[in-house]
Amino acid sequence: MNGRKGMVLAVLMAIFLSGTFAQAAEPIKIGAILSVTGPASFLGGPEARTLEMLVAETNKKGGVMGRQVQLIIKDSGASPEKAFSFAKQLIDEDKVFAIIGPSTSGESMKIKSVAEEGKTILMSCAAAEAIVNPVAKYVFKTPQSDKDAILKIFQQMKKMKITKIGVLSSNTGFGGAGKGQIEKLAPQHGITIVANEVYDKAASDLTAEVTKIKAANVQAIVNWSIEPAQAIVIKNARQIGLKIPIFQSHGFGNIKYVEAAGEAAEGVLFPAGRLLVADVLPKKDPQRELLLRYKKDYMSFCSGEECSTFGGHAYDAYIILLKGIETAKSTDKEAVRTAIENLKGVVGTGGIFNFSPTDHNGLGIDAFEMLTVKKGKFAIL
């Protein structure tokens, strides 16, 4: 009996020891839970490719603190139950240093508590405010907040003297969160919502919806979605002869939607990070250099594919992590977490990040620039 116990102990010791010995040479493991396939693949696809690109770059340069980075990408297909399973797996089994992702708010919300329990840094690439509010110790997010985007739109509306608006949103987390924030913030800015429509994220024709809005006699339309439907909204609106300004969310930041909407996209207004207009940014803009580099690198890495803001979220998540490691000068999860929480002035694709213990997003309204579409290209208003 004693002998057997001893043997088990010895085996366990061996496992433990081999673990610690290997530590020095072992790579830093970073997990990523992204919806590369499934309904949110337009987010997860660019994110995964961006991370692969960045990790290859880091490793070519000799890694971080002398250690290589090992990226473990898990495709969740936007299913929360898989995200849950993968988060557990990455934390308990792979013992990753941090997790980047998930791509969608629903998944992020579900593994928020898993990251907390596992004391592992989670850098969410999803936008919902609820991910960092209430603040969870280990959970950060890189996309700009809906709230700031809406405030930016309202500032613009004030300039254009718009007070009556119609709101369209898709039935996704993104759409729902945006709609909620608009409803909450509009009265504070003297704006009335006279029409409010929710449509299916897979909708292929929204003529009925825009007709309803037209009937409500509004001064502008605000559409909040990240799906292809946002191109359909503007097309259908123009087709029924609606000529009022159309505001889109920062989710419009993909040139493909402009291409898809064709001529109808001309003059659409939307707040977005500066990635989309990197080449026309003033020379002294602090983000310009990084943005141009990301654009170029991504295009060469993905054989000609344009980068999108979504990939940018993963880009930011990764560089913030590395910055955290460099600042903390260690790969101790706790130390890095504290370091990230106190990072200031990190230049990313989404803006300049200033974290604090009460702000795990680090971006403000100045992360947005009001953009429009001119001749099929994004331009600063």
Type and span of the H or E element at 380 = strand 377-380
Give least dist CB 277 to another protein, A.
21
Half-sphere exposure of 211 (CA within 13 A, CB side): 6
Q: What is the DSSP letter of 356?
A: B
* Phi and psi torsions of 306, nearest 5°: -70, 145
Binding of residue 231 to another protein (CB under 8 A): yes
Least distance CB 198 / another protein (angstroms): 6
Segment contacting another protein by CB under 8 A, of 169-177, 289-297, 313-321, 335-343: 169-177
Stretch that binds another protein, among 131-139, 185-193, 356-364, 369-377 (CB under 8 A): 131-139
d(CA 264, CA 261): 6
Q: Which stretches within 89-245 are classed as H helix?
A: 105-118, 146-160, 173-185, 207-215, 229-239
Binder of another protein out of 263, 326, 332, 334 (CB under 8 A)? 263
Size of the site for another protein (CB under 8 A): 78
Q: Contact between 245 and another protein (CB under 8 A)?
A: no
Q: What's the closest the beta carbon of residue 313 comes to another protein, in angstroms?
A: 16
Is the separation of the CB atoms in 153 and 207 below 8 Å?
no
Greatest extent of the chain over all pairs of C-alpha atoms, in Å: 86
Residue 88 binds another protein, judged by CB under 8 A? yes
Q: Which is nearer to another protein, 81 or 279 (CB)?
A: 81
Closest CA to 200 of 221, 241, 220, 228: 228
- Spell out, one character per residue from 49 to 78, where the chain touches another protein: x when CB under 8 A holds, - when not: -------------------------xx-xx
Minimum distance from CB of 232 to another protein (Å)? 7
The answer to whether 210 contacts another protein (rule: CB under 8 A) is no
Cβ proximity to another protein: between 75 and 369 the closer is 75
Please say whether the beta carbons of 177 and 154 come within 8 A: no
200 binds another protein (CB under 8 A): yes
